[in-house]
Amino acid sequence: MQIDLDYAGRHVVVFGGTTGINFGIAQAFARQCARVTVASRRRENVDAAVAQLSTAGGEVLGVVADVRDFDAVGGAFAQSVARFGPVDVLVSGAAGNFLCAAEAMSSNGFKVVVDIDLVGSFHVLRQAHAHLRRPGASVIQITAPQSFVPMRYQAHASAAKAGVDQLTRTLALEWGGEGIRVNSISPGPIDGTEGFRKLMAPTAEDRAFALDQVPLQRFGSLDDIANLALFLGSPYAAYISGALIPCDGGGALESVKPALEAAGRRATG
């Protein structure tokens, strides 16, 4: 179920927008008749996303660009702005992750995730800045609960996503005067996505455990996240900036519980 907001003629750029959660966001904006640019590393993902988005409504552009490559990101914006004009909504969601104990993680393994998630996000926002509509642009970063609740075997992603959220808050300060809002969405377990399969529910047992961690007792859907993005991109969210918004059924609260219980046991002997 999607909320209905008019994005006709608005330009929406979704970095990392060719699969999963970010694709769901791109699709929601396309259904509201936005002009949508999606960008990611792999040509086959870009082509498949463009083919599917073209059936959703609006106009679509696909660009191949790796967020680790500052110039390629700049080139993507040059193309999209030449086609659709200033950017009204920017979604920065490209990310990579894998489970690995910190003591087993190579330097390059740590670096690759920080490079994609954190440095890549900086590249996207930095290159977008000159092209954002002012006043009025809305920048939305897709982060994760491990930004504020550290997760075992995700030292790289926890550190990177915490950095992404501080980038959100810092740029909300710096760009607020230009009429640009910057916010983060922190999704919970979103069923049917790569991140959920790979990191939270590789087995049926893990899936059951993950469900138990969600107070609302269901996994999230692509629409749950897309609806929040549609709202944040709209004038109805005109006074929201620098916010880190969980969309997780309350899960971030619940995942603190085991740590608190362990701490409580220690404190009470």
Q: Does residue 32 bind ligand NAP (CB under 6 A)?
A: no
Closest distance of CB 110 from ligand NAP, Å: 15
Cβ within 8 Å of residue 75, ≥6 positions away: 63, 65
First to last CA, the chain: 49
Closest distance of CB 108 from ligand COA, Å: 4
Phi/psi region, residue 34 (left: phi>0; alpha: psi -120 to 50; beta: rest), is beta
Binding site partner of 142, from ligand COA, ligand NAP, none, Cβ cut-off 5-8 A by kind: ligand NAP
Q: Do residues 215 and 116 lie in contact, with contact meaning Cβ atoms separated by under 8 Å? A: no
What is d(CA 22, CA 269) in angstroms, rounded to the nearest whole number? Answer: 46
Q: Which is nearer to ligand NAP, 133 or 247 (CB)?
A: 247
Binding site partner of 213, from ligand COA, ligand NAP, none, Cβ cut-off 5-8 A by kind: none
Binding site partner of 98, from ligand NAP, ligand COA, none, Cβ cut-off 5-8 A by kind: ligand COA
Q: Does residue 88 bind ligand NAP (CB under 6 A)?
A: no
Using CA atoms, how far residue 95 sits from 77, 111, 161, 176, 266, in Å, is: 19, 13, 9, 26, 36
Q: Does residue 54 bind ligand NAP (CB under 6 A)?
A: no
What is d(CA 196, CA 236) in angstroms, rounded to the nearest whole number? Answer: 30
Question: What single string gives the DSSP state of each residue in 117-167?
Answer: IIIHHHHHHHHHGGGB-TTT-EEEEE--GGGTS--TT-HHHHHHHHHHHHH
Q: Does residue 189 bind ligand NAP (CB under 6 A)?
A: yes
Choices 23-31, 108-116, 175-183, 224-232; region in contact with ligand COA by CB under 6 A = 108-116
Q: Which of residues 147-166 bind ligand COA (CB under 6 A)?
A: none
What is d(CA 204, CA 144) in angstroms, rounded to the nearest whole number? Answer: 22
Q: Does residue 113 bind ligand COA (CB under 6 A)?
A: yes
Q: Does residue 97 bind ligand COA (CB under 6 A)?
A: yes
Binding site partner of 187, from ligand COA, ligand NAP, none, Cβ cut-off 5-8 A by kind: ligand NAP
Q: Does residue 67 bind ligand NAP (CB under 6 A)?
A: yes
Which of 25, 132, 190, 237 is in the footprint of ligand NAP by CB under 6 A?
190
Q: Do residues 207 and 201 lie in contact, with contact meaning Cβ atoms separated by under 8 Å? A: yes
Query: Which secondary structure element, helix H or strand E, spans residue 91, and what is its range?
Result: strand 89-92
The pair of structure tokens assigned to 48 is 């498949």
Q: Do residues 180 and 135 lie in contact, with contact meaning Cβ atoms separated by under 8 Å? A: yes
Q: Which of residues 172-201 bind ligand COA (CB under 6 A)?
A: 194-195, 198
Residues of this chain that bind ligand COA (CB under 6 A): 95-98, 100, 106, 108-109, 112-113, 194-195, 198
Residues of this chain that bind ligand NAP (CB under 6 A): 16, 18-22, 40-42, 45, 66-68, 93-96, 116, 120, 142, 144, 187, 189-190, 193-196
